[in-house]
Structure 1
C-alpha cells in the first residue's frame, strides 16, 4: 500500500458507510459456505475488542448455529453486508 494513512487491516462494507480497523491479526481465516451461504466467502475470526470502528454504525443480528448457541453478526445497516 502506498498511502501511509491506510492500514493493511482496514476494511468496511461495500457502500462505505462502515469502516473499521483490526488492531491485531485474526485468530483464523476460513472459507465457510455453510455459514455464509456464498460459494466465495472468507470468514476471519477476531476478538471484538481488537476491532476499532472508524466510521458509521453497525446493526448486530443474532443468527442460529449448529452448536445451538447462536452467533452475533455485525452488518452495515444500509447495504446489509456482514462485517
Structure 2
C-alpha cells in the first residue's frame, strides 16, 4: 500500500530479522543495515527523546535532576521538563 501511494519508508529498524530482510539495506537504519541480527549485538536506538534497547525490547528515557525552586514558575517548569 505504501508503494501504491508513492511513500518510501527509510531509516527502518527492527529487532526481527524477517522485517529487516524485507527492506533494502539503503532503507535500513545506519546502525542496523549492516548487522547480522542472529550473531551481532543489537545497538540502542534513539528517537524523540526515547531510547529503545533492541535486545530487551524496552523503552527508556532520562530525566535531568535539575533542582527548580518551589515557586509559581519553578513547579510548572519542573513538571513540563518531564
Question: When you count strand as a share of all residues, which structure comes out higher?
Answer: 1
Question: When you count helix as a share of all residues, which structure comes out higher?
Answer: 2
Does the pair score TM above 0.5?
A: no
Greater Rg by CA: 2
Q: For this structure pair, what is the TM-score category when the shorter chain's length is used for normalisation?
A: under 0.3
TM-score for both structures, normalised by structure 2: 0.20
TM-score for both structures, normalised by structure 1: 0.20
Work out which structure has the larger RCO, using CA pairs closer than 8 Å and 6 or more positions apart in sequence: 1
